Structures are given as C-alpha cells and as structure tokens.
Structure 1
Amino acid sequence: MKENIIDLNVNELKPGMVVAKEIQEDKKVLISKDVIITDAILMKLKSLYILEKVSVYIDSDSDKIEYKKQDAKQELENVEYTFNEICLSLHETFNKIKNLRSDVIKEVRELTKQLQNEVKDPNIIINDIVFYGSGKDSIYRHGINVAAISNLLGMWLKLDENKIKLLTYSALLHDVGKTKIDDEIFNKPESLTKNDYKIVKSHPILGYNIVKEFTFLDKSVSQGILMHHEREDGSGYPLGIKGDKICEFAKIIAIADVFDAINSNRSYRKKKSPFEAIQIIKKESFGKLDYNYCNVFLSHILNYYMGREVFLNTNKQAKIIQMDINELDRPLLFVDDEFLDLKEHKELYIEKFIL
C-alpha cells in the first residue's frame, strides 16, 4: 500500500488517509510521516491557508490517476455551481442597493462568508477562474471572481482576518457603479466608442457615491471601489493618482480585476490563454500594478501552473516541469519522453490546460 503516493489539496483529504511526507510550517514539523489523518487533524490542516498540498499513500498508480481526474472534475463542478449561486445572490443584492434597501450590508457580509468558505483551497479557485473566467458577465460573476482572488491575495500578503473581510466587501462591490450605466454599453459586440468608454470610466465614482452612504461600514471599502482602476504611474482613472496615494485594497483588487478579465470571454473579444494572463500581470507590474503585490501573486500562481498537463498548438500533450519568471509563457515541458524548452522553440506555444 505504501509504495504509491499522491499529492492532494487539503479539501481532498479524508479521515483514515495516511500522511506520506511530514508536514511543516516555518521549519517546524506539524504532522509526522505515517500519521493517520483524523477529523481533528483535518480541521487543523484546513486552518493553514499557506498549505497547498499534502502527500498521502494510495493503493495503486491506476487508482492515483483515476482519483485525480475524477476529483478534479468534481471539484471544478462544485465550485462553479457555488460561485454561480453566490452570483445570483449578488445580483439581488445590487438591485437592493439601487433601491436603497437598509439590509444590504447584512447580505454583503453573508455573501463574503459564503465566498470565504470556498476559497480555502487556492488551487480550486484558480482552476475555476482559468477554465471558466466570468464569461460575458462583467459585473456579477466578475465581482465574485475578483472577490475570490482578492481574498486569496490578501491571505498571501498575510493581512489580518478583519482586513481580509473588508477587502472582500470592497472587491464584491467594486463594480456596483456599473449598475447605474446602460446595459447596452456592456453588451456591445464591438469595441467601445470614445463616448462609451468615457461613460464606463465613471463607474468607480458612481460606486463610491453609493457605498460611502452605508452607515457603519469602514471607509476603506468605498476607497477600494473608488481607486481600483488607478495605476502606479498615474495613468489610471478616475483621479489619476499614483503610487502611495492609491489605497491598499485598490492595489489588490486591481490585480484580481485584470487577472479575471484576461481569463474571460467578453462580447467584444475572446479570453487570453492562462500564460498570456500571467505574462500581462508581470508586464503591468512595471509601472501599472503594484510591483510587490504582483510578485506575491505570481509566485503563488506559478505553484498552480507547475506540473499541469497542457495542449500545445501542435495538439501534443505535455507537462510543465519548470517556469522562468522572466519568460512566463515559455516554460520547460516534458513531452514524448523528453524535455522541451519553449524558449528554444518559438514556433510552439501552449494553447490550453487539460483538466
């Protein structure tokens, strides 16, 4: 039995499984090798946000492969279903905001709680956003995805629990101002006109003016909404401020906003590949997005990309072995029983991940 090992996400673990490699945090052993996982141990592991994989024993190689395939698909379906349910609730919440209902903040808190219950495993969330994105829904499902990514980045930046909660409020509501703009603009199949774009660029102020009126809500939430399109070099909107003038929440939401938008189909363009997405984040970290926050984001995202099965433009299947932070879209692959460095084969590129 103990000859086969599989690396599982924490949410995939079940009581009775046996730990194959000791689990450490800050160079301290938390759980030793060959320990049987109990309910208490499982709760402890789920509380460790930085823990992404646990090695356990499994009966056979065939069981290992089948387990991973079935479980990955089921996980993706489950989180997609949950996100869509939360999305419907967010739509209703935004309608109540427009009608000035007083119970809105209670609903935002509940949606945040639901969302945070889903984001304890970063791999599942990144998987969902890479495979599905937010589609053509640039308000509600986009808001859910941006909130999920912002929540993860907040944890990776080691923000305290209350700050992460407020950050998630701000991310959920970051595009609430779009509800004040004609839907026809967002549903156009062609690129926006200059006048359309001018109208769209008003949504941070519209959203800020709505949310700042909520009583007993920390001002950091409305500021994150107001500034999420500001850029480090002052090229953003609506204020054109730069650097330290941009609040912390806005810097985080900006990265999440860009990542989801790139990974999503829109009425006027198709989604980019997962590698184009991280390449754009890397490029924009020089002058547009916060450099340090981008580095933290990318370092964790790269862990998700490593070991993934992919299809090349030749329709060949390959596995990602190593990635270069300076050329994120040209990793080292293993294909046809040999290594293939995409940096040396410019005619080849990765088309998509394999689930």
Structure 2
Amino acid sequence: MNRKVQIDIDACKPRMVTAETIYSDYGAIIVWENTVLDALTINRLKIFGVDKIWVYDYGMTDSGSEGPQSRSEAEMFIESYENDAEQFKEILHDLSVGKTVSIEKTVQIADSIYAKKDQRRQIIECITQIRKVDEYTYYHSINVSMLAMLIGKWLRLRPEDTHLLVQAGLLHDIGKSRIPTEIINKPGALTEEEAAEMKKHSEYGYYLIQYMDGIDRRIQEAVLYHHEREDGSGYPMGLKGDQIPLFAKILAVADTFDAMTAERAYKSKNTPFHVFQLMQNDCFGYLDTIVLNTFLSNISHYYIGNKVRLNDGRIAEVIYINPQQYGKPVIKIGDEYVDLTITKGIKIQELL
C-alpha cells in the first residue's frame, strides 16, 4: 500500500496524486481524493490558500517531486484537444470540396476523445475556456462530442453506445460543410432565406454520411434529428417526444449548452451559470426533461469552488449549487454568504 505524505503546496508537482479530499475553510470540496494533479489544479489550490496537502508517495525524490516530469496532464489534454480539432477540420475541408470521407477517420478522432472519458473536470474547463471564434464549427463539434460523452456516462449508457455518441457529436454539424461560408460566419442576424438555408444543415449532414460505409443507424438519426424539439417545434421533421431518438435528445442538450456558452462574432459568451438558468427555465418542453436534468445536476457541481467576478466588480466563490435554480448558487463574498436565489441585483459576470 502506498504511503501518505504531507507536503507544502509549493512542493506539489504535476502527476502527483492526492491522498485525501481537500476542502476549503468552510467545508466545500476543492479537489477529490485520488485526483492526479496538474498545473491548473495546483494553482487553484494556491488561490484557495491551501498550504499543505496529503499525497501518495510513489517514490518521490527529496525535492518533493516524483522525479523528472514531462508535460502536465492539462498540457497534454489541451494538445490532444487541439489535434482532434485539426483532424476534424481536415474532414470538413474534404467534404466541402466533394471528397468522400471514410468512417475510420471519424472513429480515430472519437477514440482520442473517448480516451478522455474520465477527465471530466478538464473537459468542462476546456469547454468553458478554450475558444477560437474564427474556427467555431470545428471546436463546437469537438465540444459537443465531449459533452455528449459525459451525458452518456451520467445516463449510464453502455461504453459502446457512448463511443457511438461521441461519433454522433463529431458529425452532428457536418452538413455545415455545404452551407456557404458567408452564412456560417455572418456577424449579424441571418435573413429569412439565410436562416432557411442554415436549417438544411442537418439534412445535408444526413445525406453526406450515407456514403460512410459501416456507419451506425443511430449516428445517422442523431445527425438528422438533433434540432428536433419535444413539443414538435424543431426541424427538419417536426418530431415530438418519443419520436425523437435518444442520441438526438442528448446531442440537443450538448449542442445547446456549447452554443450558448460560446463567444461568436455576433455575441459575447455567456457564463455557465447564466446558461444553466436559461436551460432550466426556458428549455423545458423543448429539450428532454430526463436528459436535461441529468446534464444540469451533474455539470453544475463541477463549478463549486470556482472564483467568479460579480456584476458589481467584487470577487466571490461558488460554494453550493441550488438544484431548484442551478444558475443561482450560494456564493461567498469575503466572510459573507449570499444566496443568489434570494438576493436580487447580484449576478455572476465572469468565471475566473
């Protein structure tokens, strides 16, 4: 059994593993036991004023490290994320010039994404922080596939189904490769004709992937139906409720969250808390209740412990998520605890 040792926070190195759950001064969990530390997590502990932590001794050197270290886990995650986006960019480019793409290329990217399935916190931090406005479609597809993967795991889908869901997330907007670039990147509101053309992307995508040998039917359905809504107000078929396949319901939630939190040429990004509020209050009746609740109840708790900037400029810390109002947590401002479901006029402006 590995020995536990207590070390100074300044001696922490990436790849060390926490031996005990780390709490803030008032009892909120900052880092779970058995977490592999990376540079971002270590810095977060320093921000919270943590002086010492317990880690497992895997043959550490006198300097407190595990010996020579390569890149941190966070750095490797971001590098893999960027590589996935570049690989997917090539697929979209090939399709835009009329080339046929094999399912194997998509599966390779899906394998890379699925390998990150247990790195939930890094997935969520990555989606929240990493955006390239001018390459939105590529990063959006990667983000939706990762969010769909998390939802699949939270719904306890079989691993093979979750892997298919990752592929569906990657391909859900593939039809946009046939939409004129001036419509895709237009900085202002679309005209009625442009909006009608944009809505055809799900059908274009469905037709494109027909040429991929061996593609699963559920992926095809998810690409075609991910804009269908529970009340029948979606497109292209106006399906309702149980007529909509589960994969499409999951993609609808993942797609909505990523689109709402993204910064685009025509809008600034929303905070996750603002999006939680919009999705919880405005999307019932449109998005599947079970999928939406599963998503919001799980993802919101990853923001406990986050530092945030308020609309009055003050800095606060998220300490509790209210399940009745995911977008209005209890926060701590200095020594004061503020319940945003009760206190009016205070809003979370930005994640720090």
Structure 1 residues 78 and 351, CA gap change in structure 2 (3 angstroms): farther
Residues 231-281 of structure 1 show CA distances to partners (whole Å, capped at 9, x for unaligned) of 000000111111011111111111110111111111211111221111122
Separation of aligned partners in 1, 2:337 and 2:240: 44
RMSD (Å), alpha carbons: 2.9
Task: Note the residue ranges of structure 1 that are not aligned, 5 or more in a row.
Answer: 7-11, 22-51, 68-73
| Per-residue deviation, 1:62 | 2.8
Residues 302-326 of structure 1 show CA distances to partners (whole Å, capped at 9, x for unaligned) of 2102121111122222111222222
Residue in structure 2 matching 1:166, options 153, 164, 176: 164
Separation of aligned partners in 1, 2:148 and 2:134: 20
Structure 1 residues 116 and 55, CA gap change in structure 2 (3 angstroms): closer
Structure 1 residues 141 and 349, CA gap change in structure 2 (3 angstroms): same
Separation of aligned partners in 1, 2:342 and 2:8: 34
Separation of aligned partners in 1, 2:106 and 2:170: 8
Within-5 A mapping of 1:35-74? 53-54=32-33, 61-62=50-51
Residues 119-165 of structure 1 show CA distances to partners (whole Å, capped at 9, x for unaligned) of 42111111111123463434211101101111111111111111111
Within-5 A mapping of 1:2-41? 14=16, 17=17, 19-20=19-20
Contact 2:310 2:350 in 1 (8 A): yes
The yes-or-no answer on 1:214 pairing with 2:203 is no
Separation of aligned partners in 1, 2:277 and 2:201: 27
The yes-or-no answer on 1:131 pairing with 2:120 is no
Task: Note the residue ranges of structure 2 that are not aligned, 5 or more in a row.
Answer: 22-30, 43-48, 54-63, 65-71
* TM-score of the superposed pair, with normalisation by structure 1: 0.79
Aligned residues: 310
Contact 1:76 1:127 in 2 (8 A): no
Residues 91-117 of structure 1 show CA distances to partners (whole Å, capped at 9, x for unaligned) of 112233445656621111110111122
The yes-or-no answer on 1:197 pairing with 2:204 is no
For the residue of structure 2 that corresponds to 1:330, the secondary structure is strand
Separation of aligned partners in 2, 1:191 and 1:285: 22
Structure 1 residues 185 and 76, CA gap change in structure 2 (3 angstroms): farther
| Per-residue deviation, 1:229 | 0.4
Residue matched to 2:312:
314
Separation of aligned partners in 2, 1:5 and 1:255: 42
Structure 1 residues 5 and 236, CA gap change in structure 2 (3 angstroms): farther
Separation of aligned partners in 1, 2:142 and 2:199: 21
Separation of aligned partners in 1, 2:322 and 2:18: 34
Instruction: Report percent identity of matched pairs.
Output: 31
Residue matched to 2:248:
250
